[in-house]
């Protein structure tokens, strides 16, 4: 037996490892299995190069749980270690065997570890760790290394075993959760799902049916292989069928709706990156869709917090990015910003824009069919990323209330004649609730105007951006006070009431209607327009909606709106103006006003109940 002290710079290295090195205790399993994958990759490399001449045999990595003995074992059939290598790699903290190996075989990019500290993460959950290892070099004996969480260790020669290493964790009393099969399975699913070497964890029982008539089937016990060593992002895109992409999406996100389409990423200069990004069906639920991109480094799961390498709007995508060139901190838990990260961000943005542009140009009908799901994503990207905006302005679509879609340039051409105001600005009329604003939409269409649907969570920001970017364009909601001033005929129509009668009717409304109205105005509109119309100042309304989107409490702010009385409507010009009884005038004016509130969806609660009761009285 050999005894010695691990070569470290401080006696306190183990408490530091246990408490501070890794952000999550559970990462120990990822690190140890990654080391086992490294060892397996090494023997495969040596075999390919003819250095190792024996049969490789089965190289499956095993995770073995023994709850009674309180041990967790990670077993590989990889390259193994000699006694000298154990002294070099286990007894000198932060000297990475993977790094040493990479120096020798520089073109082998599949070796995962680069820090040499991963092995010591075992001491976060174990009060004793044993390593039993047999080198692939036959002449060397099997070595057993034991350490109990301090710089002291023992090294023994033991009976010869097969090639590879067993890392045996004697799980400490404060980490017994890692003796539960379900917990280990959970970690394997999270961190090891796509590692390039098969990983076995126990067995599983499956029903096998001889034929269609076999109703009961036979229970067959097989190895429980927990990972897919050959995920599609590692394959050539031209060899993958659509069904394989969809199947892989279901593997990543079980029970989700199928994706609309996807992008296969593959670049080897100026950095290495592979992956598949899917466009999910987003609809209007942005937050639900975020943080679904998984980041891997050589098929080792790192995180799903990818905002450092993926622009904010691209976090709405789903899928996988795998790159050995992404800079990670020593625990592989956090990304560190550098030039490669910026290049990767730019590359991904460019590929996404190219995919959308290609689909728009070549399959516009299909693109339009998907627009309801795509619109949040595209508009979000335009608002938050200048370079994406420059590309997307050519394929962002505006939806009309009649169900037709237009590019911005197409729409400007369509409305140029009818919807240009006296300041030469093109007015993009829109509604954000087709049902509630149906009467306003209908009135606008009767005047020859077109109305857009802008009911997306991002639309307020999107409209503001277009107003800033485009020359002489303004967005106006269809129930805004500006709409009636679009064309000259609205302003020059003659009133059937005299100036004196007009003042008299206006006085009735001002005296008898609640003061929450911002302004009362008599206007000579078409007799077909409603008798009373409520409009909202565009600027105030939009500012309030912006504040609401930012989470501000708007309940303390009174709603600002204008009341327009149509002096040419028969109920105003002939009925209200000719009433003699002041009480009836007041009651009738209030009723017309409440009709206008109802039309805007602003009549609620007690006010609505009273209005219904009054309507029944009128009918009687």
Q: What is the pLDDT of residues 78-131, one digit of tens each?
A: 999 999 888 888 876 544 444 554 455 455 444 444 445 678 888 889 999 999
Architecture of domain 397-488: 3-Layer(aba) Sandwich (3.40)
Contacts of 413 (CB under 8 A, 6+ apart): none
What fold, for 2-202?
Answer: Heat Shock Protein 90 (3.30.565)
Average pLDDT, the chain: 82
The model's pLDDT over 606-620, given as tens digits with 9 standing for 90+, comes to 878 887 887 887 776
Q: Which residue has the tokens 């604003």?
A: 437
pLDDT at residue 415 tops 60? yes
* 58 — pLDDT class (breaks 50, 70, 90): very high
Please give the average per-residue pLDDT across 202-226, as a whole number: 83
Architecture of domain 232-365: 2-Layer Sandwich (3.30)
Report pTM: 0.74
Q: Do domains 2-202 and 397-488 have the same CATH topology?
A: no
Pick the CATH number of 493-537+558-619 from 1.20.120.790, 2.40.50.140, 2.30.30.90, 3.30.830.10: 1.20.120.790
Please give the average per-residue pLDDT across 209-215, as a whole number: 74
Please give the average per-residue pLDDT across 497-507, as a whole number: 83
Closest by CA position to 347, among listed 377, 307, 388: 388
The model's pLDDT over 258-305, given as tens digits with 9 standing for 90+, comes to 899 999 999 887 888 899 999 988 765 555 556 688 988 889 888 887
* Secondary element (H or E) of residue 510: helix 499-512
Domain locations in the chain? 2-202, 232-365, 397-488, 493-537+558-619
Alpha carbons 593 and 576: distance in angstroms, whole number:
12
Crossing angle of the two packed helices 459-469 and 538-549, in degrees rounded to 10: 130
**pLDDT at residue 481, as a whole number:** 65
The model's pLDDT over 423-481, given as tens digits with 9 standing for 90+, comes to 888 999 999 888 888 888 988 888 889 999 998 878 888 998 999 999 899 898 888 76
Alpha carbons 524 and 568: distance in angstroms, whole number:
6
* 336 — pLDDT class (breaks 50, 70, 90): low
85 in Cβ contact with 136 (< 8 Å) = no
> Percent of the chain at pLDDT above 70?
82
Inter-CA distances, 342 with 263, 287, 293, 297, 381, Å: 20, 24, 17, 17, 17
């Amino acid at each position: 037996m050999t005894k010695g002290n691990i070569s470290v710079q401080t006696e306190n290295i183990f408490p530091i490892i246990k408490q501070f090195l890794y952000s999550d205790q559970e990462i120990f399993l990822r690190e140890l299995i990654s080391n086992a994958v490294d060892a397996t990759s090494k023997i495969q490399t040596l075999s390919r190069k003819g250095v190792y001449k024996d049969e490789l045999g089965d190289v499956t990595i095993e995770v073995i749980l023994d709850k009674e003995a309180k041990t967790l074992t990670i077993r590989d059939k990889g390259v193994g270690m000699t006694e000298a290598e154990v002294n070099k790699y286990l007894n000198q903290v932060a000297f990475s065997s993977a790094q040493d190996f990479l120096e020798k075989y520089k073109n082998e990019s599949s070796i995962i570890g680069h820090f040499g500290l991963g092995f010591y993460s075992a001491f976060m959950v174990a009060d004793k760790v044993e390593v039993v290892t047999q080198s692939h070099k036959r002449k060397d004996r099997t070595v057993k290394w034991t350490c109990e969480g301090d710089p002291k260790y023992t090294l023994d020669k033991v009976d010869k075993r097969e090639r590879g290493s067993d890392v045996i964790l004697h799980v400490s009393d404060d980490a017994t959760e890692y003796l539960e099969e379900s917990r280990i399975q959970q970690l394997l699913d999270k961190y090891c799902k796509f590692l390039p070497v098969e990983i076995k964890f126990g067995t599983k029982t499956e029903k096998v049916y001889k034929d269609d008539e076999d109703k009961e089937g036979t229970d067959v016990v097989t190895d429980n292989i927990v990972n897919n060593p050959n995920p599609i992002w590692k394959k050539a895109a031209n060899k993958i069928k659509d069904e394989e992409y969809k199947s892989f999406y279901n593997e990543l996100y079980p029970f989700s709706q199928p994706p609309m389409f996807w992008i296969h990423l593959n670049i080897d200069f100026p950095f290495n990156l592979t992956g598949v990004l899917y466009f999910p069906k987003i609809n209007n639920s942005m937050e639900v869709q975020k943080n679904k991109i998984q980041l891997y480094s050589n098929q080792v799961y790192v995180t799903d917090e990818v905002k450092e390498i993926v622009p904010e709007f691209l976090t709405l995508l789903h899928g996988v990015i795998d790159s050995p060139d992404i800079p990670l901190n020593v625990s592989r838990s956090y990304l560190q910003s550098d030039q490669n990260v910026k290049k990767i961000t730019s590359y991904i943005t460019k590929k996404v824009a190219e995919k959308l542009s290609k689909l728009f140009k070549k399959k516009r009908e299909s693109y339009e069919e998907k627009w309801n799901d795509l619109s949040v994503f595209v508009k979000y990207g335009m608002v938050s990323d200048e370079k994406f905006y420059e590309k997307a302005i050519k394929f962002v679509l505006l939806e009309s209330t009649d169900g037709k879609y237009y590019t911005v340039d197409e729409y400007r051409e369509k409305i140029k004649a009818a919807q240009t105001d006296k300041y030469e600005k093109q007015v993009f009329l829109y509604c954000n609730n087709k049902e509630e604003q149906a009467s306003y939409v209908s009135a606008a269409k009767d005047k020859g105007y077109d109305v857009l649907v802008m009911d997306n969570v991002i639309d307020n920001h999107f409209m503001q951006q277009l107003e800033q970017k485009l020359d002489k364009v303004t967005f106006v909601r269809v129930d805004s006070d500006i709409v009636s001033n679009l064309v000259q005929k609205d302003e020059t129509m003659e009133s059937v009431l005299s100036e004196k009668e007009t003042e008299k009717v206006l006085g009735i409304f001002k005296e008898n209607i609640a003061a929450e109205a911002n302004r009362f105005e008599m206007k000579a509109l078409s007799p077909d327009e409603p008798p009373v119309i409520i409009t909202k100042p565009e600027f105030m309304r939009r500012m309030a909606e912006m504040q609401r989107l930012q989470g501000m409490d708007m309940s303390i702010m009174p709603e600002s709106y204008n009341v327009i009385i149509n002096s040419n409507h028969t109920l105003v010009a002939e009925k209200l103006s000719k009433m003699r009884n002041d009480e009836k005038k007041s009651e009738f004016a209030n009723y017309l006003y409440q009709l206008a509130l109802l039309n805007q969806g602003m009549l609620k609660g007690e006010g609505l109940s009273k209005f219904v009761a009054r309507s029944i009285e009128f009918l009687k």
